[in-house]
Amino acid sequence: MITNNIVLVGFMGTGKSTVGRLLAERLGWNFLDSDAEIEKNEQTSIAEIFRLHGEAHFRQLESQALADILAGSGQVLATGGGAVLAETNRTCMLGSGCVVALQATPEKIIARVSSDQSRPLLQGNLEERVHALMETRKSAYDFATMAIDTTELTVEQIVEEIIARTG
């Protein structure tokens, strides 16, 4: 499969950034993280953007960042977990390359995100928030070109799998 970009999508804590960084290194491609790009552009954290301007404003910044980044090629992009919610973003991702959905069980996700308490959408009872949000996003990642269940895999194995299936 010839692909211009590899776009990683998936719920928070599915390993998009960690996997993306290693994948880019293996391919000799650039690695970008849409949340990090937004923070760089806005000179503040995602949590602050949510707190000061709300989620809708964050989603606008996110759509703009995705469109800007995906105009380029030879990149691995880790997206935020909610980037798939807007149809324009999904179309932009599919048009720019291969979209890989990373999946994991709620238990695995809770274990992975518990070390970072800054995510605005996971404030309050972590277990409840993860289960509720996963329920509302049940089919949100189905549009992807391919899906990989990361629950029992190491980062190394996930990268190998992506290279085998996109190469």
Number of other CB atoms surrounding residue 144 within 10 Å: 22
Residues linked to residue 147 through DSSP beta bridges, in sequence order? 101
Choice from 23, 35, 65, 98 touching ligand S3P (CB under 6 A):
35
Q: Where are the alpha helices (DSSP H) in 10-167?
A: 16-27, 34-42, 46-53, 55-70, 87-96, 106-113, 126-136, 155-166
Count interface residues toward ligand S3P (CB under 6 A).
10
Let me know: does 15 contact 155? Beta carbons within 8 Å: yes
User: Does 46 interact with ligand S3P (rule: CB under 6 A)?
Assistant: yes
106: phi then psi, degrees, rounded to nearest 5: -55, -40
User: Does 82 interact with ligand S3P (rule: CB under 6 A)?
Assistant: yes
Reduced to 3 states (helix: H, G, I; strand: E, B; else coil), residue 105 is coil
Stretch that binds ligand S3P, among 19-27, 75-83, 103-111, 139-147 (CB under 6 A): 75-83
Cα–Cα nearest to 14, from 140, 118, 138, 158? 158
Min dist CB 77 to ligand S3P, Å, is 12
Choice from 63, 120, 126, 143 touching ligand S3P (CB under 6 A):
120
Choice from 69, 81, 89, 97 touching ligand S3P (CB under 6 A):
81
Let me know: does 24 contact 72? Beta carbons within 8 Å: no
* Residues of span 143-162 touching ligand S3P by CB under 6 A: none
User: Does 121 interact with ligand S3P (rule: CB under 6 A)?
Assistant: yes
User: Does 90 interact with ligand S3P (rule: CB under 6 A)?
Assistant: no
Binding residues for ATP: 13-18, 119
- Residue numbers of the site for ligand S3P (CB under 6 A)? 12, 16, 35, 46, 80-82, 119-121
